[in-house]
Amino acid sequence: MTAKRFIWKTIKWILVTIGIMIVTLVLFVAGLYVYYEYFWQEWSPARIERITGVRVPDYTITGFSHGNHAIPNDFNDRFYIEFKAMPSDEMFDEIDEMIATGKTAWEKDGDKYFFSVTWGNGLPAPKGERKDGEGMFSIAITRGEINGKIVAGD
Q: Where does residue 113 rank: exposed (0-12), middle (13-18), buried (19+ CB within 10 A)? A: buried
With a pLDDT cut of 90, the percent of the chain lying above it is 40
- Shared domain check, 63 and 32: no
118-135 pLDDT per residue, tens: 888 778 878 777 777 788
10 Å Cβ neighbour count for 126?
A: 17
**Are 19 and 90 within one domain?**
no
22: containing domain: 1-39
**pLDDT grade for 39, boundaries at 50, 70 and 90:** very low
Residues 4 and 72 in one domain: no
In this prediction, residues 102-128 reach a mean pLDDT of 88
Q: What is the Cα–Cα distance from 92 to 111, expressed in whole angstroms?
A: 9
Same domain for 80 and 119, yes or no, is: yes
Question: What is the reported pTM?
Answer: 0.69
Query: Do 26 and 62 share a domain, yes or no?
Result: no
CA distance 14 to 52: 56
Give yes or no: residues 33 and 71 share one domain: no
Give residue-wise pLDDT tens across range 49-72: 988 999 999 988 888 887 665 555
Domain count, the chain: 2
Element (H, E) at 60: strand 59-65
